[in-house]
């Protein structure tokens, strides 16, 4: 009986090893043939915003490099958290990817306890593609000529200056709350379903200002429809050294950075993730791509999946401390 049990155990171990090898081989074969059909890339915000614009640049490059269509599907709402939750529950086969950005990946996880997904455990990061500061913008004919003008009016007439965001919990929302806390002012926060609609209303005079990621408002700045007042970087931003910082204009301690990345549901085969990252890493070094995103006001990052996870964990820690010290919560 002992011999039979031992023999059965040996057979079981051999079968387990064979299945593991077969599974690994199958995954590798799948990666070699990947993609063999179109790939959906969910952007959890409206078309025209910074996340959308940069994601479309990346999907164009992936389509060119891998020979199958990577198409964007916009699904705005709830600060990007609903679409992100749905994306994390998609089949982990590489055919559903999703754009990542501060709102659903670092801000909400740091400042809210009500999410239905874990931004670390349920997300397989592929890369953080680009990063850059935010920029405070007003309409070209706005009465505000500087950030000090905004602060002065907000103090003289509390609750009258309207600052737009691309949604509750978005990068622009946190910038609004931080501006209020550090400048000691009372303003009205007006959330929109994306940076595009917010920019339209700033240009139209319905709201006064937003503090948004550069790519979300870069086209309107270049076109002269929006006028920049300040950048959120600690020092003058090399791509736009003509724009003063918040610190330059008396708002001490004001520093924020935004980013856009690409991810897949947790459990997506490593070989597929590595293949996608390989394309991004190569593209990020190409002068044409660097120049293209520089016009949007950002620089390439293209860190590895492991480095992206560490980077985003650190961002969440920073935001938790920021929320605690300034009384900012999304609960």
Task: Determine the average pLDDT of the residues in 169-187.
Answer: 93
Residues 142 and 226 in one domain: yes
Q: What is the pLDDT of residue 46?
A: 84
Q: What is the pLDDT of residues 86-95, one digit of tens each?
A: 999 999 999 9
The pair of three-digit structure tokens given for residue 142, joined into one six-digit string: 């706005």
On the question of pLDDT at 255 being above 80, the answer is yes
Task: Determine the average pLDDT of the residues in 126-140.
Answer: 96
Q: What is the pLDDT of residues 271-326, one digit of tens each?
A: 999 999 999 999 999 999 999 999 888 999 999 999 999 999 999 998 898 888 88
Q: Name the average pLDDT for the chain.
A: 90
72 in a domain, yes or no?
yes
Residues 162 and 72 in one domain: no
d(CA 99, CA 6): 51
Residues 46 and 187 in one domain: no
Q: What is the pLDDT of residue 7?
A: 53
CATH number at residue 175: 3.40.190.10
Helix (H) or strand (E) holding 230: strand 226-231
Buried b (16+ CB within 10 A) or exposed e, 128-148: bbbbbbbbbbbbeebebeebe
Asked if residues 8 and 49 have their Cβ atoms less than 8 Å apart, the reply is no
Residues 143 and 67 in one domain: no
The pair of three-digit structure tokens given for residue 33, joined into one six-digit string: 């043939």
On the question of pLDDT at 268 being above 70, the answer is yes
User: Taking the CB of residue 114, how many other CB atoms lie within 10 A of it?
Assistant: 8
Task: Determine the average pLDDT of the residues in 126-154.
Answer: 97
Computed from CA positions of residues 204, 209, 213, 214, in that sequence, does the dihedral angle turn out positive or negative?
A: positive
Residues 145 and 234 in one domain: yes
Q: Can you say how many angstroms the Cα of residue 76 is from the centroid of all Cα atoms in its chain?
A: 13
Residues 139 and 237 in one domain: yes
> How many separate domains does the chain show?
2
Task: Specify the pTM.
Answer: 0.82
Buried b (16+ CB within 10 A) or exposed e, 24-57: eeeeeebbeebbeeebbbbbbbbebbbbbbbbbb
Residues 204 and 242 in one domain: yes
On the question of pLDDT at 8 being above 70, the answer is no
Residues 267 and 127 in one domain: yes
Q: What is the pLDDT of residue 30?
A: 65
93 in a domain, yes or no?
yes
15 in a domain, yes or no?
no
The pair of three-digit structure tokens given for residue 60, joined into one six-digit string: 């164009």
Q: What is the pLDDT of residue 14?
A: 55
Of 198, 215, 249, the position where a domain reaches its end is 249
Residues 42 and 183 in one domain: no
| pLDDT bracket for residue 23 (50, 70, 90) | very low
8 in a domain, yes or no?
no
Buried b (16+ CB within 10 A) or exposed e, 68-103: eebebebbbebbbbebbbbbbebebbbbbbbbbbbb
Q: What is the pLDDT of residue 169?
A: 87
118 in a domain, yes or no?
yes
Which range marks the domain in which residue 98 is found? Answer: 37-132+259-326
Residues 239 and 265 in one domain: no
Q: What is the pLDDT of residue 4?
A: 46
Of 249, 284, 312, the position where a domain reaches its end is 249
Residues 97 and 46 in one domain: yes
What is the gyration radius of the CA atoms in the chain, in angstroms? 23
CATH number at residue 90: 3.40.190.150
Residues 196 and 128 in one domain: no
By residue count, the chain amounts to 331
Asked if residues 75 and 83 have their Cβ atoms less than 8 Å apart, the reply is yes
16 in a domain, yes or no?
no
Asked if residues 82 and 75 have their Cβ atoms less than 8 Å apart, the reply is yes
Q: What is the pLDDT of residues 194-211, one digit of tens each?
A: 888 999 999 999 999 999
115 in a domain, yes or no?
yes
- Measuring CA to CA, how many Å separate 78 from each of 133, 181, 221, 248, 318? 23, 24, 27, 34, 22
> Under DSSP, is residue 273 helix (H, G, I), strand (E, B) or coil?
helix
Residue % of the chain over a pLDDT of 70: 91
Of 249, 270, 288, the position where a domain reaches its end is 249
206 in a domain, yes or no?
yes
Q: What is the pLDDT of residue 166?
A: 86
């Amino acid at each position: 009986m002992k011999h039979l049990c031992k023999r059965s155990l040996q057979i079981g171990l051999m079968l387990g090893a064979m299945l593991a090898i077969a599974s690994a081989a199958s995954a590798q074969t799948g990666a070699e043939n990947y993609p063999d059909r179109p790939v959906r890339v969910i952007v959890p915000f409206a078309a025209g915003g910074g996340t959308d614009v940069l994601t479309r640049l990346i999907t164009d490059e992936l389509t060119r490099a891998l020979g199958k269509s990577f198409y964007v599907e916009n699904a705005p709402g709830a600060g990007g958290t609903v679409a992100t939750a749905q994306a994390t529950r998609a089949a982990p086969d590489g055919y559903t990817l999703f754009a990542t950005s501060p709102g659903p990946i670092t801000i909400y996880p740091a400042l809210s306890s009500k999410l239905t997904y874990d931004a670390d455990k349920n997300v397989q990061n592929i890369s953080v593609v680009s990063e850059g500061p935010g920029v405070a913008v007003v309409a070209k004919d706005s009465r505000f000529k500087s950030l000090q003008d905004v602060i002065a009016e907000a103090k003289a007439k509390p609750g009258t200056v309207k600052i737009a965001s691309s949604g509750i919990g978005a990068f622009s929302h946190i910038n609004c709350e931080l501006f209020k806390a550090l400048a000691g002012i009372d303003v009205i926060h007006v959330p929109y379903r994306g940076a595009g609609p917010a920019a339209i209303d700033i240009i139209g005079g319905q709201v006064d200002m937003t503090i948004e990621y550069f790519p979300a408002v870069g086209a309107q700045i270049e076109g002269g429809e929006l006028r920049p007042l300040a950048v959120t970087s600690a020092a003058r931003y090399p791509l736009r050294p003509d724009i003063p910082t918040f610190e330059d204009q008396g708002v001490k301690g004001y520093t924020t950075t935004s980013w856009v990345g690409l991810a897949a549901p947790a459990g997506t085969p490593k070989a597929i993730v590595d293949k996608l990252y390989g394309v991004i890493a190569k593209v990020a070094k190409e002068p044409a791509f660097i120049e293209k995103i520089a016009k949007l006001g950002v620089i390439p990052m293209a860190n590895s999946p492991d480095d992206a996870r560490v980077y985003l964990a650190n961002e969440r820690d920073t935001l938790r401390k920021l929320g605690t010290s300034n009384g900012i919560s999304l609960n």
